[in-house]
């Protein structure tokens, strides 16, 4: 399932996105990310607000230009000519967090879903394709929704319309940025099971961005934990969440119910400014292992040496000097 071979894999290699700030400072929103999303798998990308998840998603969509590294789809690097982007966006589609904002309030459901077809010049059987996409997104019977406006639908129905608008182009990969964060708990489950069903039935691949580890647990095959623009731990979701190895992941997992980490760990301080990424290990200023002295043996490395970027392999990988030094302790 997590095979990296295959023509329709979305790949990020050494991806960096920087924004110039007033005063000549540079914010490193995404700072060296390797990530693969293949059809038929759901990858969760988790982390605090402000860690660069959304920038990463926008960059994967070609909405933001990377300052370094590459995005490629099916081994073809993404180019930013409007023709190349258009072709790319037939294969990779975006679902945003807030369905109310993501739909043009003056377009009917039919227009919203058919827009993708019109953009890409797919003329034949437009009503049939729109109806099929709505049905696949769980809006049945689809014809009843054709002339509805977004304000006439519930939040869950709106998100289904957004998903239908993405599905109508039959993409290989869906990038979903917090797809259920703005929805009621009861609707959340429906949308998640919809994503799972699309994966099982249609072989759709998805990158689901979330700050909710419980959500990642329920739908994802693999998970990547992002901290301050860098992926600090990744691997199969059951491995990462039941045996977290990076101190940051352990802190995130520790506050979940039934956590494998016994004591809740409350991180000190705020997420640092992306314009001032700490030297050495970027997590060191907030690391509970450093604070408690357990990392004393590797402290000079934590302070002076940036842990190596994680590769894109699907194995369980951790960017932590302490973990590298004492794998046995953490794993146990």
Footprint of another protein on this chain (CB under 8 A)? 58, 61, 63, 82, 85-86, 89-90, 93-94, 96-98, 101-106, 115-116, 119-120, 144-145, 148-149, 151-154, 157, 162, 165-166, 169
Nearer Cβ to another protein (61/224)? 61
Q: Which two tokens stand for residue 53?
A: 């998840």
Minimal distance, residue 197 CB to another protein, in Å:
21
Nearer Cβ to another protein (76/119)? 119
**Which 3 state secondary structure label does DSSP give 29?**
strand
Cα separation, 182 vs 185, whole angstroms: 9
Minimal distance, residue 104 CB to another protein, in Å:
4
User: For the residues of 30-99, what is the DSSP string, one character each?
Assistant: EEEEEEEE-TT-EEEEE--TTSSHHHHHHHHTTSS--SEEEEEETTEE---SHHHHHHHHHHEEEE-S-H
Cα separation, 225 vs 25, whole angstroms: 26
Minimal distance, residue 289 CB to another protein, in Å:
39
Nearer Cβ to another protein (62/235)? 62
Residue 152's CB is within 10 A of a number of other CB atoms, namely 12
Nearer Cβ to another protein (29/166)? 166
Minimal distance, residue 328 CB to another protein, in Å:
45
Beta bridge partners of residue 43, listed in sequence order: 207, 222
Minimal distance, residue 263 CB to another protein, in Å:
40
Nearer Cβ to another protein (17/213)? 17
């Amino acid at each position: 399932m997590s095979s990296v071979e295959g023509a329709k894999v979305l790949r990020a290699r050494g991806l960096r996105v920087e924004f110039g700030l007033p005063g000549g400072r540079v914010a490193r929103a995404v700072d060296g990310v390797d990530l693969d999303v293949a059809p038929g798998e759901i990858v969760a990308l988790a982390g605090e607000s402000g860690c660069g998840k959304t920038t990463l998603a926008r960059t994967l969509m070609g909405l933001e230009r990377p300052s370094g590294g590459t995005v490629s789809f099916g081994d073809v690097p993404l180019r930013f000519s409007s023709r190349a982007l258009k072709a790319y966006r037939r294969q990779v589609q975006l679902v945003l967090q807030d369905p109310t904002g993501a739909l043009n309030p003056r377009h009917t459901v039919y227009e919203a879903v058919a827009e993708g077809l019109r953009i890409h010049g797919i003329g034949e059987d437009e009503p049939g394709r729109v109806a099929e996409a709505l049905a696949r997104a769980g809006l049945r019977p689809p014809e009843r929704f054709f002339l509805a406006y977004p304000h006439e639908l519930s939040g869950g129905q709106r998100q289904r319309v957004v998903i239908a608008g993405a599905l109508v182009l039959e993409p290989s990969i869906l990038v979903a940025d917090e797809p259920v964060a703005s929805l009621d708990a009861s609707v959340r489950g429906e949308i998640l099971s919809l994503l799972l069903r699309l994966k099982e039935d249609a072989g759709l691949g998805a990158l689901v961005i979330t700050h909710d580890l419980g959500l990642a647990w329920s739908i994802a095959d693999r998970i990547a934990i992002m901290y301050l623009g860098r992926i600090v731990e990744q691997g199969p979701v059951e491995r990462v969440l039941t045996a977290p190895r990076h101190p940051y992941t352990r802190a995130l997992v520790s506050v979940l119910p039934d956590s494998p980490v016994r004591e809740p760990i409350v991180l000190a301080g705020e997420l640092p400014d992306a314009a001032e990424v700490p030297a050495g290990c970027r997590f060191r200023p907030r690391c509970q292992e450093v604070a408690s002295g357990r990392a004393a043996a590797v402290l000079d490395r934590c302070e002076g040496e940036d842990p190596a970027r994680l590769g894109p392999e699907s194995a369980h990988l951790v960017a932590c000097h302490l973990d590298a030094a004492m794998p046995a302790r953490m794993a146990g």
